[in-house]
Amino acid sequence: MTADNTALNAAAEYLANPRFHQTITIPSGGKHGDVLISYSECGHLDSSSDAETPTILFTPGMFGSRYLGTFMHAFGQKHGVRVLVPDRFGFGKTPNVGAEDRIKDWVAILPKFLEALGIKHVALASHSAGTLYNMNLLWHSRQILHPQHPMVFFFAPFVDGACSSAALISSLQVFPVFALSQWNKLAKFFVVQAGGTIEASSGILGQMAQALTPGNQEPSDREKNMRAIARDYGPAYDTQVELERLMVRGMFDQETAGANWEAVNCLKKGPKGAWDEADNMHDLVDRIASREKETHSEGQAGKLTVSIYFAESDVMTGKKGQDYFRSCWVDAATAHDQCVDIQARTIEKTNHDSVLTNVETLADMFKLVSEMKSS
């Protein structure tokens, strides 16, 4: 058996883990009735104290597929942390919902999803467009955070194009809504046919304009990062390379039509109010901080920790958008007696996508979440 086949078989075995391909039916109590949700559960598994296992609820970017969190499995195993990644509306086996209701309805369902799994508290993590979901979740369902260690992690947070002036988002505004109805098929062509990676699928808007082949001279930053993961966490480098391809193909082999409505929402071409509370990010963060001040002063909960990981180069958000998101939190913390602990960092040699898979950022998040074990 060749080395390539060995790596491919190892990657296939990794991705076939039944924990990555589960379903559960949630009685939503709303207009959708019972909702079937497909999801992955990665990382630590301890059936003897399952409810107390430190848990991250991860919300990916525009392509809200459970496949996009399975790369965190080894990190979770090492740090004793579980990672849940439910397929959002229109991905996997989870039914689709239009632009107007997808954020509101998803945020309403998630606490019931956790309850059905017997999970009391989680840390929230999001990438790119997942920011919109977790900002709303933080406002509407603060109780799902750990009472002593409430944590939220934002990787390459996405903001309104009007606040970022990101050239890529501005250029995409010319797309009519009907053209976005085939967005998932266009994405599949560019990513799968081009031999795309996990990074390409998680932030595909930016990657469509970039070459996916690393240079031949010195190891690329991507390769260096993957070798660091192999050294400290696993799996082996060659297996990771194959795993990226299989994860993307696995995602596109299932339903991805939800990406079309995600694109409509990201470009703000949907109905007014589709972003729910996140429509005015600065106002929402101020309200969150005001509530945190009141809750913390009454001794009801630990201080909220907000960790923000910016990419050195971000075509989706841009420097202006990064400054805007940072200022939302800094201004709110200043106005409300530093009631929120804000940790904002720019990770060198990363882009909008690779900041999510960076070994430094992932290790940082998992170490912090593992502290939930001690409470």
152-164 pLDDT, tens digit each: 999 999 999 999 9
In this predicted structure, what is the pLDDT of residue 310?
A: 98
In this predicted structure, what is the pLDDT of residue 219?
A: 58
Backbone angles phi, psi at 212, to 5 degrees: -100, -5
Q: Read off the tokens for 28.
A: 């939503």
Rg for the chain (alpha carbons), in Å?
A: 19
Taken in order 145, 151, 154, 155, the sign of the CA dihedral is negative
pLDDT < 50 positions in the chain: 200-203, 206, 208-218
CA distance 220 to 238: 15
Q: What percent of the chain has a predicted confidence (pLDDT) above 90?
A: 74
Backbone angles phi, psi at 30, to 5 degrees: -110, -160
On the CB side of 1, how many CA atoms lie within 13 Å of its CA? 8
In this predicted structure, what is the pLDDT of residue 215?
A: 34
CA distance 206 to 199: 10
Q: Are strands 22-27 and 34-43 parallel, antiparallel or unpaired?
A: antiparallel
Contact status, residue 204 vs residue 191, Cβ threshold 8 Å: yes
Please give the biggest Cα pair distance in the chain: 64
CA distance 368 to 75: 12
Taken in order 33, 36, 37, 41, the sign of the CA dihedral is positive
In this predicted structure, what is the pLDDT of residue 172?
A: 79
In this predicted structure, what is the pLDDT of residue 174?
A: 81
Contact status, residue 91 vs residue 63, Cβ threshold 8 Å: yes
User: Dihedral, CA atoms, 238, 157, 38, 200, nearest 10 degrees?
Assistant: -40
Domains assigned to the chain: 3-374 (3.40.50.1820)
Q: How far is CA 330 from CA 57, 308, 327, 340, 364, in A?
A: 24, 12, 5, 9, 21
Q: What end-to-end distance do the CA atoms of the chain give, in Å? A: 48
Q: Read off the tokens for 193.
A: 């046919």
What predicted TM-score, i.e. pTM, was given to this entire model? 0.93
Residue 106 class from Cβ within 10 Å (0-12 exposed, 13-18 middle, 19+ buried)?
buried
In this predicted structure, what is the pLDDT of residue 364?
A: 98
